[in-house]
């Protein structure tokens, strides 16, 4: 259904830009941003030795990026609506490139942690504007669905590809190249962007600074508090204070948005049930997917003894599976609608993660490969319809917000999931080790794997919750459309 009273949500490439080149620019930028969330993981031991990181600072290689990225996504999306999506996309990519160069030149831990935070800021501006640029450059129908399929493949496969590329660069070149590699890619994106992408119309008004500060601060405090709990405890002073601050700031944000004439996040965007449910589904997928990457990487290296590059290669089938499934889903959605893949995707993901709970200290790679492929197919089938549901029915001046919220759900879900599930895994490991009454290597391995499989079990539960959200709350007919519509009350 369409609403003729609202503006059309598409630029339809009216300036005659080349759609193929536009898709290359957007997907390359998205791949670079998503890839950077995982590329550091396999290089952490090498960086630890090279820069003499303290044990307490090492975790910030991951959290500094996720904190700034997840905390500033709403702000980044809104700046695209107010000042131009292409302009802010290029600014975000520029910040990302400069911070990557500085990160590769780091000579101490504080320097590298600071540049990881800057990378998160650049990513928070570029990521939501990249997604919303699809709606302003690709006409509705097959072309936009195809673009969404490629974008979803980059989003889903980038994490696994980051593990592979991180292992290759760390083993054969230098850990510094996991940062340097972003510079030429970003330079090419910045060169092609004005030639390939249409600029969106800007909206009048001002940026909601109080809303931006309270939302960003609240998200930062929440993610920090939950991350801190995994390395310290839920009852530590720093954890309690951070979580309390997050409650105060996020509550203040809600009150400010209700009274603001130009809110950063108009709550009317949640009136569409399908869109709101898609955000909840993406939150669950973010928790399950990010946690699976983290714990399976630890299993392969700490239990099976894989090297960084072998670990990366081990994830390659998942990357290919997600790309294949996302491309297939984009064609399926164009013919049959989003309902079926939205149910099949989370269901397959749940089955694959649940299969991971059967891993033991003596499992082989084949025991990992089969569930990994099922997870890949599930995630690939999920990303396209979720993305379409999230950006469908929004007015042009809220496209950036809708995109930012979807990215926020994935990133915050990943951060929350790692914080909570890491604590669960550590407690399960300690409990099993205590029950074994032994500190021998064999007992330690058994206890460690028990911690991982316990985390997989809870990941599967969360993935199943996502399946229920798709089944019960996204009400689209089986053959229903994936049509992008306009107007605040439009439906899929």
Mean pLDDT over the full length of the chain: 81
Question: What long-range pairs does 43-50 form, CB within 8 A, spacing at least 24?
Answer: 43/166, 43/169, 43/170, 43/175, 43/178, 43/308, 45/308, 46/170, 46/175, 46/308, 47/112, 47/175, 50/175
Task: Give the residue, 320 or 356, on which the prediction is more confident.
Answer: 356
Task: Give the residue, 316 or 198, on which the prediction is more confident.
Answer: 316
pLDDT score recorded for residue 16: 45
Task: Give the residue, 431 or 48, on which the prediction is more confident.
Answer: 431
| Complete DSSP assignment for 462-475 | HHHHHHHHHHHH--
Look at residue 343 and tell me whether its pLDDT is greater than 50. Answer: yes
pLDDT score recorded for residue 440: 78
Q: What is the mean pLDDT of residues 462-487?
A: 69
**According to the 3-state scheme, what is the secondary structure of 137-170?**
HCCCCHHHHHHHHHHHHHHHHHHHHHHHHHHHHH
Can you give the pTM of this predicted structure? 0.76
pLDDT score recorded for residue 99: 96
- % of the chain residues with pLDDT over 70: 87
Band (pLDDT 50/70/90 cuts) for residue 463 is: very high
CA 274 to each of CA 127, 132, 281, 337, 393: distance values in angstroms, whole numbers, following the listed order: 22, 18, 10, 13, 10
Look at residue 356 and tell me whether its pLDDT is greater than 90. Answer: yes
CB-based contact 81:397 (threshold 8 Å): yes
Look at residue 11 and tell me whether its pLDDT is greater than 50. Answer: no
pLDDT score recorded for residue 14: 44
Band (pLDDT 50/70/90 cuts) for residue 102 is: very high
CB-based contact 454:436 (threshold 8 Å): no
In CATH, which superfamily holds the domain spanning 19-207+264-473?
A: MFS general substrate transporter like domains (1.20.1250.20)
Chain centroid offset of residue 236 CA? 28
Burial class (CB in 10 A: 0-12, 13-18, 19+), 477: exposed
pLDDT score recorded for residue 466: 94
List CB contacts of 297: < 8 A, sequence separation 6 or more: 41, 42, 163, 311
| Complete DSSP assignment for 61-91 | HHHHHHHHHHHHHHHHHHHHHHH-HHHHHHH
Please tell me whether residue 389 adopts helix, strand or coil conformation.
Answer: helix
pLDDT score recorded for residue 202: 64
pLDDT of 296-305, one tens digit each?
888 888 889 8
pLDDT score recorded for residue 396: 65
Handedness of CA 403, 406, 412, 418 (dihedral sign): negative
List CB contacts of 398: < 8 A, sequence separation 6 or more: 81, 266, 269
What is the domain partition of the chain in residue ranges? Answer: 19-207+264-473, 208-263
pLDDT score recorded for residue 488: 30
């Amino acid at each position: 259904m369409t609403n003729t009273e609202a503006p059309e949500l598409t630029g339809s490439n009216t300036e005659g830009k080349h759609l193929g080149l536009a898709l290359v620019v957007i997907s390359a930028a998205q791949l670079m941003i998503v890839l950077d969330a995982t590329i550091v993981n396999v290089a952490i031991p090498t960086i630890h030795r090279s820069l003499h990181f303290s044990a307490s600072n090492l975790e910030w290689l991951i959290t500094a990026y996720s904190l700034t990225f997840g905390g500033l996504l709403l702000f980044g999306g809104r700046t695209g609506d107010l000042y131009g999506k292409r302009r802010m996309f290029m600014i975000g990519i520029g910040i990302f490139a400069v911070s990557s160069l500085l990160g590769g030149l780091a000579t101490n831990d504080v320097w590298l942690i600071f540049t990881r935070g800057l990378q998160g800021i650049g990513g928070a501006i570029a990521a939501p504007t990249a997604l919303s640029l699809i709606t302003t450059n690709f006409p509705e129908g097959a072309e936009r669905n195809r673009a969404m399929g490629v974008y979803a493949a980059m989003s889903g496969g980038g994490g696994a590809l980051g593990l592979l590329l991180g292992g290759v660069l760390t083993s054969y070149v230098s850990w510094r190249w996991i940062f340097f590699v972003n510079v030429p890619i970003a330079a090419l994106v910045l060169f092609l962007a004005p030639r390939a992408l249409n600029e969106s119309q800007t909206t009048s008004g001002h940026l909601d600074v109080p809303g931006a500060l309270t939302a960003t601060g609240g998200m930062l405090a929440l993610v920090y508090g939950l991350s801190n709990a995994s390395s310290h405890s839920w009852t530590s002073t720093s954890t309690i204070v951070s979580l309390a601050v997050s409650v105060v700031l996020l509550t203040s944000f809600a009150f400010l948005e209700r009274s603001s004439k130009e809110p950063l996040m108009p709550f009317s965007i949640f009136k569409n049930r399908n869109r709101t449910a898609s955000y909840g589904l993406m939150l669950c997928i973010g928790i399950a997917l990010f946690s699976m990457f983290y714990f399976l990487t630890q299993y392969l290296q700490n239990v099976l003894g894989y090297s960084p590059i072998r670990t990366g290669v081990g994830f390659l089938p998942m990357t290919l599976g997600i790309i294949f499934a996302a491309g297939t889903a984009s064609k399926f959605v164009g013919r049959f609608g989003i309902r079926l893949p939205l149910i099949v995707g989370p269901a397959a993901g749940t089955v694959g993660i649940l299969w991971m709970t059967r891993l033991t200290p003596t499992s082989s790679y084949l025991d990992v490969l089969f569930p990994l492929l099922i997870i890949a197919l599930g995630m690939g089938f999920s990303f396209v319809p979720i993305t379409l549901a999230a950006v469908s029915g929004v007015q042009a001046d809220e496209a950036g917000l809708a995109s930012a919220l979807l990215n926020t759900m994935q990133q915050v879900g990943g951060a929350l999931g790692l914080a909570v599930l890491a604590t669960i895994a550590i407690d399960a490991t300690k409990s099993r080790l205590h029950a074994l009454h032994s500190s021998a290597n064999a007992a330690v391995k058994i206890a460690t794997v028990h911690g991982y499989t316990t985390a997989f079990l809870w990941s599967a539960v969360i993935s199943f919750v996502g399946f229920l959200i798709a089944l019960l709350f996204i009400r689209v007919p089986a053959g229903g459309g994936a049509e992008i519509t306009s107007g605040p009350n439009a439906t899929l």
